[in-house]
Chain A
Amino acid sequence: MAKLLDKQRYKCALGAMQTVQAISRAIPILHSGPGCAQKLSDSIGSSGYFSPNIFPCTSINEKDVVFGGVKKLETTIENALKVIDADLFVVLSGCIPEIVGDDTGEVVSRFEDAEKPVIYASTAGFKGNNYKGHEQVIDAIIEQYLEKSDEKEQGLVNIWADVPYQDLFWLGNIRELEKLIAEIGLTPNTIFGYERGIKNIDRIPKAQFNLLVSPWVSVGNMKKMEKKLGIPYLHYPTLPIGAFETSKFLRAVGEFAGIPSENVEKVITEHEKYYYYLIERYADMFLETRVMAKQFSVVADAQYSLGITKFLVNDLGLVPAKQFITDDTPKNFQEQIKAEFANLNYGIKAEVEFETDSYKIHNEIQSHDYHGYPLILGSYYEKEITEKLFGHYLIISWPVQDKVVLDDFYVGYTGGIRLIEDIYSVAVQRWN
């Protein structure tokens, strides 16, 4: 019998059009049916110079299924190059052309000599979700656009973290990571968001190393860059939220980059002093046990599930119930991620489950004894169930309906404080 998936937390691989959109002045050209872009676009900051409603699309139909859609693709690319003022064109193929066997790569190769770079990524829905699609787009940039550079810029670091738009806080997070990296004396280079774009992509090959902050997304990209461009990488699997993890993170980066530890410690000390000053001022609220739930669950992708669980245990001393990872994590990464959940302070281990089916997740939440009302950090799907359980609810993962985030962030020292503010605002609202 066919398996039903209730309320999934990701989109198809073509959702990677949002990864392209996050690169300033880059535009996707969709080789897909009409409506794909419409369905895949969220209204969470995706309007602007290029928005999903104007993405060039071959809008293939039954005729193209029978006779092939390559001709239409060629004219669509040709005309997009004529009328759209962009720096990078990324052709993304959807399910239909891939099933019927259109050779997108061959068509795109005809545009090698075009004035602007045209590359292509295979993002058919049946190949995976938009986390995979994101990797495909980065892969396409590495394989088809970047060239190895003999010239290296000492201290230049490419930072890779969240999947744009899929992650609510992608913009703020990457900016904050840049800031932290710069403080310990390195030069950050990122390709997503305001004023980055093609000039930063061009700098990628000159970097001293790649820094990946993610449990599994983009690990393949890092390996590819290491092989093709000769750039080593540091894989830091935990999104650093709050003082404990951020200090650990800065030490790891500093060590990898060969920065004298006293320089790193100086930055850490300064941040920690202010961080704990804030914590101390509110210590009475944290210690008032009636305010906060006794146990919590995070329902999110691996990035947030792991990052927030570590923060809540290590920095706030909360007790984890079961944690849920909803991004369809590839099997070969699951053990590694599980081990991270078992490596919490005070010898605490958090149980974690890789589950994409919300029906099952909600059943588990409902049947678990949280010793009172639970604290649930999840997506909009968790709102109803948390209300039913009279719990505290904070939205942190996709799909997002009831929160607006322009450039807020949870990463770093400041991000940790922001998350505390958000969680405790929810908690104190109950009592007042």
Chain B
Amino acid sequence: MPYKIAAATSDGVNIDRTFGSAEWFTIYEINGENIISAEKRIFRESEKIALENCEKGCGSGCGSGCGNGGQHSEKVDLISDCRCVVCTKIGFPIRKQLEKLAISVFDVNCSVDEALQKITSYYSRIDNHESLRK
């Protein structure tokens, strides 16, 4: 079954953006271990600014901390059809929102190629019930 990976990369070469600072995600569609297609999904500018300006902590209503009534950040909605997201860093509340949608988060510093290769190989093994033993 094909699936999608969202990557926070500004240049298409390295994973170089935090989840919050990413202006767009490159969405790779994968079948088996092969990349079928790549598309760029741009995040709405206004929301990005709102996110940057908002204060962290309880009740700020911007998706961080308690009190936002369980609503998703729009950025989460943007990639809700993906199986996982790769970025350099991610905040805890957003991670929770993604986890609720069963979207895995990989916060790593590496090239896009390396990330895709490792993640696709991992998913291919678990999808085919193969051991992860190396």
Instruction: List residues of chain A with CB under 8 Å of any chain B CB.
Output: 62-63, 65-67, 99-101
B131, A99: Cβ atoms under 8 Å? yes
Is B129 in the interface zone, CB < 8 Å from A?
no
> Top 5 closest A-B pairs, CB basis?
A101-B134, A66-B122, A63-B106, A99-B133, A66-B118
Q: Is the interface of A mostly helix, strand, loop or mixed?
A: helix
Q: Which of A65, A67, A100, A101 contacts B108 (CB under 8 A)?
A: A67
Seed contacts A62-B104, A63-B105; 15 additional CB < 8 Å A-B pairs: A62-B106, A63-B104, A65-B122, A66-B118, A66-B119, A66-B122, A67-B106, A67-B108, A67-B110, A67-B118, A99-B131, A100-B132, A100-B134, A101-B133, A101-B134
Q: Give the number of residues in B that approach A within 8 Å (Cβ atoms).
A: 13
Within residues 90 to 134 of chain B, which ones have a CB less than 8 A from any CB in chain A? Answer: 104-108, 110, 118-119, 122, 131-134
21 contacts between A and B (CB under 8 A): A62-B104, A62-B106, A63-B105, A63-B106, A63-B107, A63-B108, A65-B122, A65-B132, A66-B106, A66-B118, A67-B106, A67-B108, A67-B110, A67-B118, A99-B131, A99-B132, A99-B133, A100-B132, A100-B133, A100-B134, A101-B133
> How many residue pairs between the two chains, A and B, have CB atoms under 8 Å in the bound complex?
26
B130 to chain A, nearest CB (A): 12
Q: In the assembled complex, which residues on chain B have CB atoms less than 8 Å from the CB atom of A67?
A: 106, 108, 110, 118
A65 to chain B, nearest CB (A): 7
A100 vs B121: C-alpha distance when bound (angstroms):
12
Select from chain A the residue with minimum beta-carbon distance to B108: A67
B64 to chain A, nearest CB (A): 21
Q: In the assembled complex, which residues on chain B have CB atoms less than 8 Å from the CB atom of A63?
A: 104-108
Q: In the assembled complex, which residues on chain A have CB atoms less than 8 Å from the CB atom of B133?
A: 99-101
A151 vs B106: C-alpha distance when bound (angstroms):
54
Q: In the assembled complex, which residues on chain A have CB atoms less than 8 Å from the CB atom of B108?
A: 63, 67
B9 to chain A, nearest CB (A): 16
A101 vs B133: C-alpha distance when bound (angstroms):
7
Select from chain A the residue with minimum beta-carbon distance to B115: A67
A63 to chain B, nearest CB (A): 5
